[in-house]
Structure formats: C-alpha cells, structure tokens
Amino acid sequence: MEAGDIRVRRGDLTAFCRSVFENRGMSPEEAEVTAEVLVSADAFGIPSHGVGRLRRYVSGLDTGLMLPRESGETVLESESSLVVDAKGAMGPPVSVRVMGTVIEKAEQTGAAFGAVRNSNHFGIAGYYARMALSRDMLGIAMTNTAALGVPTFGREAFFGTNPIAFAAPAGTEEPFVLDMSTTVVTRGKVEVYERRGDVLPEGWAVDRTGKSARDPGSLLSGMQERRGGGILPLGGLDTLLGGHKGYGLAVMVDILCALLSGGPFGRGVYDTPESSARVSHFFGAVRIDRFRDPVEFRADMDRMLRELRACPPAEGRDRVWYAGLPEAEHARETERRGVPLSRKTWEMLRELGAETGARLPSEMP
C-alpha cells in the first residue's frame, strides 16, 4: 500500500462496480461477474488489472466496442474442445462461461481446451485458472493483447504482453498460481507508474530508437499511436538474460489464443485513441485423477511448496515465496483491512459514481 492510498470494503467496491455496469446496460448477472473479476485483481494485489480500469470498461461500453448483452457464439465444438466467437462481448462473462464449459468437458474427457476470438479485456488470467482448483484439476488461461512487446533485437511492438496463468491445487498450503505476462511488465503496470508520476525503471521498455524508455506517458502514447518502442520481453533487452525466451513464450500465447481461434494476432491486435483491441483467449483444464490420486498429489504439492518456503533467503531478504502465495496473503489482508486504492483511482470512481448514480464505497478508518 502506497502513502496516500485509501481502503474500502471488498463487498462495497464490488457492489459499486456492479451498479456502474448495470447503468451501462449489463445484466445483473454479467455485471456481477465483471465486477468480481476486476475487484479480485485489487484484492490479490494486482492494481494494474483492477478497478483502475473501470473507466476504460465504461468507455468501451459507451463506444460500442464492448457489447453489454452479447454472449457470443460457439462456432466449433467437440467433446474436449470448443471455439467461441465472442462477437464483442465483455471479456469476463464470456471467459467465465467458456472456462466453466471447459471444466465440465474435462470432467468427462480428462482434459479439455477452449479458444475465444473477438473478445475484450478479461482482467487477470489467474482468475480463470483458479476456477479449476476446487474440481481437483489443473487450470490454464491465456490471452493475447494489443501489440505492446518488442521482439528480441527489435524496436517496434509485434506482440502483446500475452499473459499465461497456471493453477495447481495443494492441501493445507495455498495453491500454486502462476499468473505472469510474457513481457517484463504489463501495460497496466506502466499505467500505474504514469498515474503516480514515477519514472520507469531501467530495462522495462525501449523507445522508438531502441534505447531505454523512462517516461511512462511517452511510452504509452507511442505504443498506442504505433510510433515505435514498446515493452521488453520477459528476460530483457537481449539473449544474455533470456529475453528470447520471453519473446518465444509471447508468440506461443498468440498461437494458442489467436491462431487456433481464427482471431487477429501480432501487429493485427492494436488499440486506437478511441478504442481498445479485440483480443483472443485460451483456456484449459486437466483432471489430476487421470494421472494419480488427487489426495496424494495435494500432499506432494504441500511438501514441495513447504520446501520452497523453507529455502534460506538471500542476504537482505526475509523469505522465499512461491507463485500465488503473496496474492493469497494480500487477499486475506484485504478482508481485514479493506481493498487499497490509489487516490487517483478513487477520484475516477467518484466521477463515475456521479455519472451513473452508483453509491461510492465508504472509506475504511
């Protein structure tokens, strides 16, 4: 939590977002899903994908890019797969439906996968991967995004931040939930730095000359207007620290999300000043009991995760953690103390409340 941030109750924040979405024509059910996905990002400590994006969602609904009553169409389906054309539907509701269908198919077949095209921003990928955990399954979720990432040795964006999420259940330990972009950071993180007036760290991005970009506003406008520059792939500037591996993973996500579904890919996915890109998603679920006893699997997960936590920390560090643990701890803290919001986000919510009649959450003491 940064200095100046405030806290509000998670339930109140979800209700506020739901009311805003209903004001813009969404059904109560789909408004609830979309609000829950957004607020969950803040609850997990991922404000780059949380309610700070609410204005962008409202703008999408106002311009017709995001369609509040569209549910999409299944264009191809088998017992273990499906392809859905979202037809401009809101990303979270269509993604929850498709992941739910994938899980049901996996119950019958052992593993199932789904691809979605012509969709919109779906929040944090980990939300959908987590849906499989209670069913003793491994969960997978990915999405492509507007072209923001620079290929290794390049200086123009040719792929998105293209996140990958993978979730595996444990017993008494928190589940392992990897939710990562295939670029060094996401655009949302750059937007957080712009909102706070901070300079970008060295090694996050390059400008149109290929040199390190430090001004978040200039980088964001340059990427949106396609003037050159972009975020570096996971691993950084060149091959020394594995930048080519992040680059390869980003292209893999494009293949699974877009090429499998028939959606746009690479530079064909881009934002304009008036609208956001239509994107594609990929979801998967795998039954653990098709490989081994889930109880034994969870026990081994506990042992592995405890061993990771017991690893001696490096000098100056207080502990070693694993993917999903900080998010779970942050979520528990928000239940006690409320969801933290920056002052800039709070002012945006205040404006939306005045525009839509949604009741603004009360600040917690």
Instruction: Considering only residues 82 and 186, tell me which one the structure prediction assigns the higher pLDDT.
Output: 82
Give yes or no for residue 1 having a pLDDT over 50: no
Domains of the chain: 10-294+343-356 (3.30.1370.60)
The CA distance from 185 to 204, in Å, is 7
Diameter over CA atoms, the chain: 55
In this prediction, residue 168 carries a pLDDT of: 98
Nearest in space to 121 (alpha carbons), one of 311, 8, 346, 280: 280
Average pLDDT over residues 102-117: 98
The predicted model gives 107-113 an average pLDDT of: 98
Give Cα 22 distance to the centre of its chain. Answer: 22
Contact 154, 267 (CB under 8 A): no
Q: Which residues contact 334 (CB under 8 A, 6 or more apart)?
A: 7, 10, 42, 43, 340
Q: What is the mean pLDDT of residues 241-251?
A: 96
For the chain, the distance separating the N- and C-terminal CA atoms, rounded to the nearest angstrom, is 15
| pTM (two decimals) | 0.94
If one counts every other C-beta atom within 10 angstroms of the C-beta of residue 52, the result is 23
Residue 178: which H helix or E strand, with range? strand 176-180
CA 244 to chain centre: 22
Beta bridge partners of 183: 233
Helix (H, G, I), strand (E, B) or coil at 212: strand
Average pLDDT for 61-70: 94
Comparing CA positions, the residue from 184, 121, 177, 120 lying closest to residue 148 is: 184
